[in-house]
Structure 1
């Protein structure tokens, strides 16, 4: 298969991420084939297109402003805040059948976990306060507002070490990893934010209180739209999206570790500490999140310019397919074993200047 020689265009990011939303909107209002089309898009089409379209190996231009990229992030963030409300409305609509309601809830969770999450992740890494706040609002609406703290203050600092709840050691299956990733991430982020405030002369409102207030506002909206059933549906959608978030962290760091140094610290983060994929369509769908090594090296680099380092570990499957495999730990461990063994035999990259 030949490789594409140009970076992913902005139009591809926009089309890939936005295309499921009209299907979900129409399906939530009228049911029928729109919902099944949205489910097939999120569940199967991305995997199929990744097999048909060439891999992307080239890099986007660096050092440029990307107003279209920022506009897409803002649009995705705002749509992510509205979509759960639409799903609650549809799932409490007696005109929709039980299977249609299940498809609406499941597909909404997929979109929020696979597309809204990368968008919010990009936003919390931006310098502008308005963008960070939008990213926080998206996570809080998904009842995982603390991810904005644990990801930036804990994961990026301690990735690929035992101190990072989001990094899975070799051999640990996803379902054993999940409780520590979720509960441990909450606690680690709380400690990091509290420590920051203890050192500050103007600490302000604790972010965890902000996350709680935003999440309660989201649940109040769910109750207004659908009563107790609306709240239950919103929580179910949020939990499904959270599962996608934790699966992404699990897959992108499984079995990769930073070597301890004589002084007790760990070696600096390098390209060897994240798994990457080069598949064209899922890269567009996930806003280049599969180019994960470069993100850890340059957290503020805009997603259109993220690169695929030659010495970075590469998964043979698109990220959504890898996440699906990870749901079955024995299969995941068996398939990952040769890739970890090969990586262990390769020489480490030279230290960066």
Structure 2
């Protein structure tokens, strides 16, 4: 029965569907649920920093239930998206309803789309990676697969990493620097991979080229099937989706810096180079993303067996609550700056 707790990860798309059906003020139910109700629940529920023993870990790895929970997000995310597009093109919506649905759908694209796409992007199976990339498509962030796996995990907690927020950098500044630099980095990484394998830019193995084509086709398909209003909706919902991702990126490594060794190289990534959170609700809704320190320590570990490390820097709140706090830079700096180890500050 304990394994069923991850079904709560579908609470956000469930609330979004309710908003789509009832409309009116209900279109804002998803942002309220995600950034008001969940943070309140995080404060109520106790922190759980227990780790599993070897026997339990082995048992959980044998259960395909945890994998199917991820796969199920593909029809759920696209179901919410397609219904939203149909609604915007066939129903007369007020400005309030239109904007509310953009945020609701965008949150689903970020939480159940990009977040799950991130988890599956680390898997070795071709089919799982395909699903992961498909979940990144509606947010126009397929390049994340390249940059995250070949860039971020190599450069995390260094000034070379666009997805590591610097000390005293606001989340609003980070949205621009991270988004732009990650996209540029993805192309650089792709070109390097092609060169190392003696392949041309027009090679079938040029994933970045395929990602660009697929995203353009997605936009054109929305325009052709649902019309201009739905296209505007799809564009803005996608932006909300990747802004949520970048907000998570912001809090995951804020102010942390790997030290250089005598050789001039950075020390290897350790448990101390990512912010960890053991707040139960955030852990469940985000498929254990909040145990980010262990994910970086060993990126191949599946979400259901991620551990908590005592040496990892601990966030005072869960990730959803921390995302809300990051929107208020003075409050964020006041709470978090004193928690950043002085020798690791990214200035």
TM-score (normalizing by structure 2): 0.90
Give the Å deviation of 1:27: 3.0
Query: In the alignment, which of 44, 47, 51 is matched to residue 43 of structure 2?
Result: 51
Specify every segment of 5 or more residues in structure 2 that has no aligned partner in the other structure, as ranges: none
Q: Tell whether 2:86 aligns with 1:103.
A: no
In the TM superposition, what are the counterparts of 1:1-353 in structure 2 within 5 Å? 9-14=2-7, 16-32=8-24, 34-60=26-52, 61-63=56-58, 64-201=61-198, 204-340=204-340, 343-344=341-342
Q: For 1:81 and 1:217, how far apart are their aligned partners in 2? A: 16
User: What secondary structure does 2:72 align onto?
Assistant: helix
Q: 1:21 to 1:169 in 2, by over 3 A?
A: closer
Q: For 1:43 and 1:334, how far apart are their aligned partners in 2? A: 20
Give the Å deviation of 1:222: 1.9
Could you tell me whether the CA contact under 8 Å between 1:110 and 1:240 is conserved in 2? yes
Q: 1:29 to 1:130 in 2, by over 3 A?
A: same
Q: 1:55 to 1:97 in 2, by over 3 A?
A: same
Q: For 2:231 and 2:220, how far apart are their aligned partners in 1? A: 8
For residues 107-139 of structure 1, give each alpha carbon's deviation from its aligned partner in whole angstroms, at most 9, with x where no partner exists. Answer: 121222123222111110001001101111211
Could you tell me whether the CA contact under 8 Å between 1:123 and 1:134 is conserved in 2? yes
Give the Å deviation of 1:34: 4.8
For residues 329-348 of structure 1, give each alpha carbon's deviation from its aligned partner in whole angstroms, at most 9, with x where no partner exists. Answer: 222222212212xx3489xx
Question: Which moved further from structure 2: 294-303 or 198-207?
Answer: 198-207
Give the Å deviation of 1:93: 4.2
Could you tell me whether the CA contact under 8 Å between 1:141 and 1:214 is conserved in 2? no
Could you tell me whether the CA contact under 8 Å between 1:85 and 1:225 is conserved in 2? no
Number of equivalences: 336
Could you tell me whether the CA contact under 8 Å between 1:77 and 1:120 is conserved in 2? no
**Structure 1 ranges of 4+ moved more than 4 A:** none
User: What secondary structure does 2:62 align onto?
Assistant: coil
Could you tell me whether the CA contact under 8 Å between 1:30 and 1:96 is conserved in 2? no
For residues 59-118 of structure 1, give each alpha carbon's deviation from its aligned partner in whole angstroms, at most 9, with x where no partner exists. Answer: 243232230111011111332233222222223443443322322211121222123222
Give the Å deviation of 1:229: 1.3
TM-score (normalizing by structure 1): 0.89
User: What secondary structure does 1:130 align onto?
Assistant: helix
Give the Å deviation of 1:30: 4.2
Give the Å deviation of 1:218: 2.0
- Superposition RMSD in Å: 2.0
Specify every segment of 5 or more residues in structure 1 that has no aligned partner in the other structure, as ranges: 1-7, 347-353
Could you tell me whether the CA contact under 8 Å between 2:291 and 2:306 is conserved in 1? yes
Question: Which moved further from structure 2: 188-197 or 126-135?
Answer: 188-197
Q: For 2:205 and 2:76, how far apart are their aligned partners in 1? A: 27
Q: 1:252 to 1:99 in 2, by over 3 A?
A: same
Give the Å deviation of 1:327: 1.9
Could you tell me whether the CA contact under 8 Å between 2:109 and 2:138 is conserved in 1? no
Q: 1:33 to 1:326 in 2, by over 3 A?
A: closer
